[in-house]
Amino acid sequence: MKYNILAILSVLLFASCAKLLEEKPQSIAAEQFYNNAAEVQAGLNAIYTPIRVGGSLGALYQVQQEIYTEYMYGRGSHAPLNDYMGLDNNNITRTNDMWAAFYEAIRNANIVIQRTPAGKNLPDADKSKFLAEARFMRALLYFYLVRNWAGVPIRTETNMDSLNVPRSSKAAVYQLITDDLLFAEANLPDAGRLVGAPSKWAAETVLTDVYMNLGDYQKARDKALAVIGSNKFSLVNVTVPADFDKLFGPDIITTPEEIFYMKFSRQPNGQGFQYPMYAHYPGAGYYPPGGYYTLYSDAVNNTFIRDWDKKDLRYDFNWYVQTFGLGSSTILNKKFSDKTTTTAAGNDYPMYRYADLLLFYAECDSRVNNGPTTDALEKLNMVHRRGYGKNPLVADATIDFKMADYGSLQVFIDQVVKERAYEDCGEGKHWLDLKRLGIVKEVIKAVKGITVADKHLLWPIPTTEYNYNKAIDPIKDQNPGY
């Protein structure tokens, strides 16, 4: 059985402080909590709890993001997402729950940030690294919010008890994100306090992603290069499709490729990754407790899938044929499978891994130089070689991309984006790439023949927010189309 330190400690430590945090987060916490390392770490663990549930990053967030892509479709109550006309009431309810989970986690981070400096039995060095972890997580959570909702209310340790907080601009949210991540970069250790906790390299990787979203490719390139130059990470070698379970399998605790993962475990109860339950068909063998097969694809009629080179080991690892009334070419995604569990899946969610970082660098380096460089091409080829079961570090003329084939910046970037889609299929990342690059409408039109409505690009501000937050006008402050 997989032993997940972060998941176990989350239960053991958070149990002692949950009542305090929920009922009287200020008065009791100030007097009785955040005075020693164990208490602060309990507070840190509480940041992860709300977003690890099935309604958030434990399942439904990835489900929704994957259905949006050109290669996936939704079934059942998720089927309306296939129309690209925005969200119906069922799916609005789901995104409302995600908003609530992100803000609950932000509040838990804010409590740590507010209370830790006054800790009576905490060395300054401990205070700095604990604050850095809390600020890293706060930044990451706001990064999820701003990419899916645009500008949002900014709640920090200084106003977290204020009910009426206006909607801030995207620029203001990104400023908070970068400030928090730069602090985290300067104060986090080389290795996280536990497996699954962030390091300074995780902060630099997220900064890379943030700067890419801001269009500052020089800063993004520099951060990515710093992580690469640390020599802390490497791609996991594979030779057959099943070897990818060395990365994504349920019994893996950590790998040389892991930069920042959301950790899950089959035991104790309630700590499992729920995404496989939505991915698999009952009786298919990839998730014995059953499944909803909520998202699927088509091996013949979807051109992205049809044109995926079948010699690429990632294709065989990702997909299996499963008919359930939609035709013999229906396929389901099996990247996250747990064939032996009887309770919940033990797979972790790879939020950032070294393959992501290499492809970030390939794009940014080429943009900075206004065209592909030898270094950018090599980073792309490293990921590509591994996808075909080759040694990532050894050139292979039979599969390597060649500089002569990429005479322009755009052609090269298109190849990087395609490679990242193959690499990250099933991980809930590709849709955000399409949005960042401004190519959602053309890609979905080309593959699915559907025109994406503008309102589909952002999620609506929840009614639960503007019903109680009087600083937000339900009409003027709402996202377009809702």
Cα separation, 341 vs 451, in Å, equals 41
Residue that the structure tokens 């997989």 belong to: 2
Do 380 and 326 touch, CB atoms closer than 8 A? no
The pLDDT of residue 119 is above 60: yes
Token representation of residue 360: 């970030």
Predicted local confidence at residue 2, as pLDDT: 54
- The amino acid sitting at 444 is I
Model-level pTM? Answer: 0.93
- State the pLDDT at residue 28: 40
Indicate the range of 4-8, 311-315, 386-390 predicted with least confidence.
4-8
Would you say residue 359 has pLDDT above 80?
A: yes
Q: Name the average pLDDT for the chain.
A: 93
Q: Which of 4-8, 61-65, 180-184, 321-325 has the lowest mean pLDDT?
A: 4-8
| Ramachandran assignment for 455, one of left (phi > 0), alpha (psi -120 to 50 degrees), beta (any other) | alpha
Which class for 195: exposed (0-12), middle (13-18), buried (19 or more C-beta within 10 A)?
middle
CA 302-426-336 angle, 5° bins: 125
How high is the pLDDT of residue 261? 98
Among 14-18, 276-280, 327-331, 348-352, the minimum mean pLDDT is found in 14-18
d(CA 178, CA 102) in angstroms, rounded, equals 18
Query: pLDDT at position 10, please?
Result: 45
Q: For residue range 236-257, list pLDDT tens digits in order.
A: 999 999 999 999 999 999 999 9
The CATH code belonging to domain 211-258+350-450 is 1.25.40.900
| Cα–Cα distance, 297 to 279 (Å, whole number) | 11
Domain layout of the chain by residue ranges: 211-258+350-450, 275-333
Percent of the chain with pLDDT over 70: 93
pLDDT at 256: 97
Q: What is the pLDDT of residue 96?
A: 98
- If one compares 19 and 269, the residue with the highest pLDDT of the two is 269
Residue 83 has pLDDT above 60, yes or no: yes
Using the 8-state DSSP alphabet, how is residue 150 labeled? S
pLDDT 10s digits, 395-433: 999 999 999 999 899 999 999 999 999 999 999 999 999
Q: Identify the band that residue 279 occupies on the pLDDT scale cut at 50, 70 and 90.
A: very high
Average pLDDT estimate for 357-385: 98
Average pLDDT over residues 52-62: 97
pLDDT (tens digit per residue) in 438-459: 999 999 999 999 999 999 999 9
Q: What is the rounded average pLDDT of the residues 279-287?
A: 97
pLDDT confidence bin for 7, thresholds 50/70/90: very low
